[in-house]
Amino acid sequence: MKPIILIMLFVGAMFFILRPKPATSPQSTPALQTPAPKKTAETSVSNPDGTKKLILRKEKPSGTITTYTFIVAQDNSEREIFTQSADPNTKYDIPANTWSPGENTYLFLRETTTGTTRYLVFKATGQPFTDEEQFLEVTSLFAKTANKYRIRDITGWDSPELLHVQTETEQGAKGPSFWFEVPSRVFLQLAS
């Protein structure tokens, strides 16, 4: 009986070794896709007494869209007041004189889109002006007034509620200056 077991083991082993093998194709391992690193840049402007800071975080996760986030930082806390995603033709920045003096109630930002500039006024608390208005867009408010000028630049604050607006004529000549009074949304032409 022992030789029969040995023969069976031998035949089984040969069957196992000589059996046809299935055709195999080299398996390709899927390429690991690692997300592109986010490109982040940060700038800030402090208020006159240094107790608050307006931070601009620019993040470009991928592609051509950039996300701009504006944050008010005070006493180790941060409060987001505005976020906007934009294509490469649109850029946002913080003017040097962004904070209104005194209680720092307001701040303004600049948006530039292919040569056109808009100025946006926000409450520093981040609260909207009305249910429909997160900010005041000064450029369009000025365009609705009965005058023949357009905004050339907004240089900053002349008082806690007055933005200094410089204008120009349609031909590009220097025009008069105005105050934009934020609470009333009225433009007051200056004498000189």
| Residue 125 located in a structural domain | yes
Q: Is the pLDDT of residue 1 over 60?
A: no
CA distances from 25 to 19, 28, 45, 162 (A): 19, 9, 61, 75
Question: For residues 186 and 7, which has the higher predicted lDDT (pLDDT)?
Answer: 186
Domain that holds residue 93: 37-189
pLDDT digits (tens, 9 = 90+) for 99-140: 999 889 999 999 999 889 999 999 999 999 998 999 999 999
Q: pLDDT above 70 covers what percent of the chain?
A: 80
Q: Give, in order, the Cα–Cα distances in Å from 18 to each of 12, 13, 21, 58, 105.
A: 10, 9, 9, 66, 87
Alpha carbon 175 to its chain's center:
32
Residue 79 predicted with pLDDT over 70: yes
In a domain, 18, yes or no: no
Number of domains within the chain: 1
pLDDT at 64 over 90: no
Q: Is residue 103 part of a domain?
A: yes
Residue 70 lies in a domain: yes
Spatial distance between the Cα atoms of 95 and 108, rounded to a whole number of angstroms: 8
Q: Is residue 165 part of a domain?
A: yes
Domain membership of residue 91 (yes or no) is yes
Instruction: Give the number of residues written for the chain.
Output: 192
Query: What is the model's pLDDT at position 191?
Result: 83
Section 41-61 average pLDDT: 92
pTM for the full predicted model:
0.76
pLDDT score, position 150: 93
| Residue range 129-168, pLDDT digits in tens | 998 999 999 999 999 997 899 999 999 999 999 999 999 9
Distance separating alpha carbons of residues 47 and 99, to the nearest angstrom: 6
For residue 30, tell me if it sits in a domain. no
Residue-averaged pLDDT of the chain: 86
Residue 6 placed within a domain: no
Q: Is the pLDDT of residue 32 over 60?
A: no
